[in-house]
Amino acid sequence: MPPEHEEIRTVLTRLRKDYPHPGALHLGDPYRTIVAVSLSARVRDEQVLKLLPAFFEAYPTPAALARADVQAIQAKISTIGMFRQKARNLKRLAQDVVGRFGGEIPRTMEALTSLAGVGRKTASVLLVACFDTPAIAVDTHVFRVANRLGWVKEKTPEKTEAALLKIVPSKLQPLVNPVLMKFGRYVCLPGRPRCWMCPVRDFCRFKDKNLKTPPDADDVKQDIARREAALEAMRRAVAKQP
């Protein structure tokens, strides 16, 4: 049986208290956000945020990026994985934005996913972060947590997204990715989750709960708080960059 709306609301509300900040790559400006999320595939958010200030100084607009040489783009993002492919996609994306959309990042799922390197996950982040449109971006963390909670029983992120869109009220959909992603990164870990510190374990259907509090519990919690504060500081710095 799928969860009731009230259960979903309670879980998201509790997790929001622990993770009040926006998604790490929610940068406000659509151009900056789509670049950041496009670069984040198989890369830690911290790595992406570190390179973005120099990237946006060199390419402050889609038009500037569209004119750039691919090798120059590669040099700006060479510290992350798949940088050659990502550089080619970013240039094509920028060319499409300039040529087909008048230099403005489009605002619909269909238009966004027509851009090079942009799938439904990236488009969903844009819709929520920049255009106030309900959507659910399902990454590996959201996929794992949603299935462990018992909200869905799916084998792939794509099917998980479709199932979540059916059961999560539209007003709550913008919360799903930011809070479940961080919760999955810090607490609901793959393999052996930290159920002993989980604020929603009374709603969780995961059978193999790890409820034994470790001796270093306080250190773990402090490290999570430190990491989250550092990530938010980096996000704000990029978002406020002239």
Residues 164, 100 share a domain = no
One pLDDT digit (tens) per residue for the chain, 242 residues:
678 899 999 999 999 999 999 999 999 999 999 999 999 999 999 999 999 999 999 999 999 999 999 999 999 999 999 999 999 999 999 999 999 999 999 999 999 999 999 999 999 999 999 999 999 999 999 999 999 999 999 999 999 999 999 999 999 999 999 999 999 999 999 999 999 999 999 999 999 999 999 999 999 999 999 999 999 999 999 999 88
Model pTM?
0.94
Helix ranges restricted to H, 77-211: 83-101, 109-112, 120-131, 140-149, 157-167, 173-186
Candidates 164, 87, 70, 161; CA nearest to 123 is: 161
Quote the number of domains for the chain: 2
**If you search the block for the tokens 């238009």, which residue do you land on?**
111
Q: Which residues contact 231 (CB under 8 A, 6 or more apart)?
A: 24, 45, 46, 49
Domain with 37 in it: what CATH number? 1.10.340.30
d(CA 109, CA 161) in angstroms, rounded, equals 14
What's the rounded Cα separation, in Å, for the pair 183 and 224? 10
Distance CA 229, CA 131 (A): 25
Distance CA 146, CA 161 (A): 10
Residue 238 lies in a domain: no
Check which CATH number belongs to the domain holding 228 and give it.
1.10.1670.10
Whether 62 and 40 map to the same domain: the answer is yes
- Domain finish residue from 131, 147, 169: 131
8 A C-beta contact, residue 177 and residue 123: no
Q: Tell me whether residue 165 is in a domain.
A: yes
Shared domain check, 11 and 54 = no
Distances (CA, A) of 175 to 71, 78, 162: 37, 32, 16
Whether residue 208 lies in the annotated active site: no
Co-location of 126 and 206 in the same domain:
no
| Tokens representing residue 99 in the block | 């040529």
Among the listed residues 45, 96, 139, 182, the single catalytic one is: 139
Tell me, yes or no, whether 239 lies in a domain.
no
Clarify whether 121 is annotated catalytic: yes
Token pair in block for residue 113: 């996913």
Q: Of the candidates 80, 77, 74, which has an alpha carbon nearest to the alpha carbon of residue 44?
A: 80
- Pairwise CA distance, residues 48 & 42, whole Å: 11
Catalytic residue chosen out of the listed positions 29, 121, 153, 166? 121
Give the structural domain span for 83: 30-131
Asked which of 75, 109, 131 is the last residue of a domain, the reply is 131
